[in-house]
């Protein structure tokens, strides 16, 4: 891990001779350096991960503003109406005994005692009176001394307050907050990926036929990687030769490379050979997990991570959650993705030699959950981490959310 973060990752090896599931996740996350941050215009920052502390550049709101359509009034009723104030206007101060029509969001004039809601008042020519709908205490006092319909300056934040911290995922709400706080450009991390789909037996259209099967992983990853914040820079089919694979890996430019298939030791599994020839560092080479044992993660000579997914679809899903999700988090400067506790409603067996990743629905295993199947996962509400030896009904296990999140 010399080209990674420079940290020592404890490696736990179980008795089948490969890295334990939890150690693989830790190693993949710990070996991956964050992608460098970029300063981007606010309009292009959505989907990125914030890489700076953001301070408000002004009070929010900057002045006392009206929370309702109505009148700003000064002193006791009746009031003489002397004008109106709209949002974006700078009002003149109010003298006692006067009022101005005011719009929601408009600045409250200096000298105003408060804002009188439209439905609480009655206008007669240029005079404003408290109406019968006004609260009893206001009608009895014949004045508005309350500020309940005024948004005070700095109610949300003061200039200089921290409004967002590094690691915040920039969705619509966060972008709106950054705009409100006065930001024009922000530092973000937004990593991308090159996806290399391996396998001469794969079809890109139509049903399986003539001994060949439809590629499921390419389409699945194109939809899944963006949920991790990874932009798919390219997705390319690679012929089953060591030379082609080596050339394609060498030509990649993205922050991370994701391959499908070729992680085992079959006659056309060339990934290990290509990584050796490149001088890559193997961080994870096989994981004690079912399905998905032959998964790997390596650091290319320039330090970029390569994640090797097995070719069987559910085994690939296992590798995505075991290795790729931690790598994607680390690329964005984020901590290890969290897990959710869930209760199993039936006994769930597992061998003593490996963790089992199992699709569950309402706490019970689903059908069609073999290594080459996605049908069961499509029906599941979580992917459960079943520890070696299994778990009894009523036991609590860690789970991933539905995959992909729906």
Instruction: Quote the crossing angle between the two packed helices 271-278 and 242-251, to the nearest 10°.
Output: 50
Q: Encoding tokens for residue 75?
A: 């002193």
Q: Do 54 and 117 lie in a common domain?
A: no
Q: Do 252 and 120 lie in a common domain?
A: no
Residue 404 · residue 227 · CB < 8 Å: yes
| Segments forming the whole domain that contains residue 25 | 19-35+191-331
Q: Do 219 and 296 lie in a common domain?
A: yes
Residue 260 · residue 197 · CB < 8 Å: yes
Residue 180 · residue 60 · CB < 8 Å: yes
Query: pLDDT tens across 279-322, in order?
Result: 999 999 999 999 999 999 999 999 999 999 999 999 999 999 99
Q: What is the CATH number of the domain that holds 23?
A: 3.40.980.10
Question: Looking at residue 347, what is its pLDDT?
Answer: 97
| Residue (of 142, 145, 126) closest to 80 by Cα position | 126
| Residue (of 369, 381, 361, 197) closest to 291 by Cα position | 369
Q: Do 317 and 379 lie in a common domain?
A: no
Indicate whether 405 belongs to any domain: no
Which residue among 331, 359, 391 closes a domain? 331
CA distances from 157 to 57, 165, 167 (A): 10, 15, 20
Query: pLDDT (tens digit, 0 to 9) for every residue of the chain, 406 residues total?
Result: 345 544 444 444 443 458 999 999 999 999 999 999 999 999 999 999 999 999 999 999 999 999 999 999 999 999 999 999 999 999 999 999 999 999 999 999 999 999 999 999 899 999 999 888 888 878 777 777 667 899 999 999 999 999 999 999 999 999 999 999 999 999 999 999 999 999 888 888 899 898 888 989 999 999 999 999 999 999 999 998 999 999 999 999 999 999 999 998 888 789 999 999 999 999 999 999 999 999 999 999 999 999 999 999 999 999 999 999 999 999 999 999 999 999 999 999 999 999 999 999 999 999 999 999 999 999 999 999 999 999 999 999 999 987 766 5
The neighbouring-strand residues paired with 311 are none
Alpha-carbon dihedral 321, 327, 331, 336, rounded to 10 degrees: 70
Question: Looking at residue 1, what is its pLDDT?
Answer: 39
The neighbouring-strand residues paired with 234 are 194
Task: Give the total number of structural domains in the chain.
Answer: 4
Q: CA–CA separation, 182 vs 59, rounded Å?
A: 10
Residue 107 · residue 65 · CB < 8 Å: yes
Q: CB under 8 Å to 202, separation ≥6 — which residues?
A: 212, 213, 214, 215, 218, 237
The pTM assigned to this predicted structure is: 0.84
Task: Specify the pairing of strand 79-85 against strand 98-102.
Answer: parallel
DSSP secondary structure string, 32-55? Answer: PPPPPPEEEEGGG-TTSEE-S-EE
Indicate whether 1 belongs to any domain: no
Query: pLDDT tens across 11-40, in order?
Result: 444 434 589 999 999 999 999 999 999 999
């Amino acid at each position: 891990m010399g080209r990674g973060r420079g940290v020592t990752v404890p490696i736990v090896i179980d008795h089948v001779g490969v890295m334990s599931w939890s150690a693989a996740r830790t190693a993949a996350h710990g070996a991956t350096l964050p992608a460098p941050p970029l300063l981007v215009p606010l309009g292009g920052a959505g989907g990125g991960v914030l890489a700076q502390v953001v301070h408000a550049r002004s009070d929010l709101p900057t002045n006392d503003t009206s929370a309702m359509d109505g009148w700003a009034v000064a002193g006791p009723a009746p009031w003489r109406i002397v004008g109106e104030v709209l949002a974006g206007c700078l009002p003149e101060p109010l003298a006692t005994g006067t009022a101005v029509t005011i719009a929601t969001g408009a600045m409250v004039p200096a000298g105003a005692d408060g804002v009188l809601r439209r439905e609480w008042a009655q206008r007669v020519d240029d005079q404003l009176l408290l109406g019968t709908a006004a609260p009893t205490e206001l009608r009895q006092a014949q004045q508005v001394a309350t500020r309940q319909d005024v948004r005070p300056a700095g109610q949300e934040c003061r200039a200089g307050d921290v409004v967002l911290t590094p690691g915040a995922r920039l969705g619509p709400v966060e972008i709106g907050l950054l705009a409100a706080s006065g930001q024009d450009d922000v530092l973000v991390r937004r990593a991308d990926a090159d996806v290399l789909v391996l396998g001469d037996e794969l079809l890109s259209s139509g049903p399986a036929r003539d001994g060949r099967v439809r590629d499921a992983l390419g389409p699945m990853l194109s939809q899944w990687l963006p949920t991790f914040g990874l932009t798919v820079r390219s997705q390319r089919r690679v012929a089953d030769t060591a030379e082609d694979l080596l050339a394609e890996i060498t030509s990649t430019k993205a922050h991370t490379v994701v391959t499908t298939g070729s992680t085992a030791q079959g006659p056309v599994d060339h990934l290990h050979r290509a990584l050796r020839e490149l001088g890559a560092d193997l961080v994870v080479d096989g994981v004690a997990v079912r399905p998905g044992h032959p998964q790997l993660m390596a650091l290319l000579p320039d330090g970029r991570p390569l994640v090797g997914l097995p070719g069987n679809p559910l085994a690939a899903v296992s590798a995505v959650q075991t290795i790729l999700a931690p790598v994607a988090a680390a690329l964005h400067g984020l901590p290890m993705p969290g897990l959710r506790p869930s209760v199993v409603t039936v006994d769930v067996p597992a061998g003593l030699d490996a963790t089992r990743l199992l699709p569950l629905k309402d706490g019970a295993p689903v059908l069609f959950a073999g290594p080459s199947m996605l049908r069961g996962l499509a029906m599941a509400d979580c992917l459960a981490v079943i520890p070696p030896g299994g778990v009894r009904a009523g036991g609590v296990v860690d789970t991933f959310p539905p995959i992909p999140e729906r």
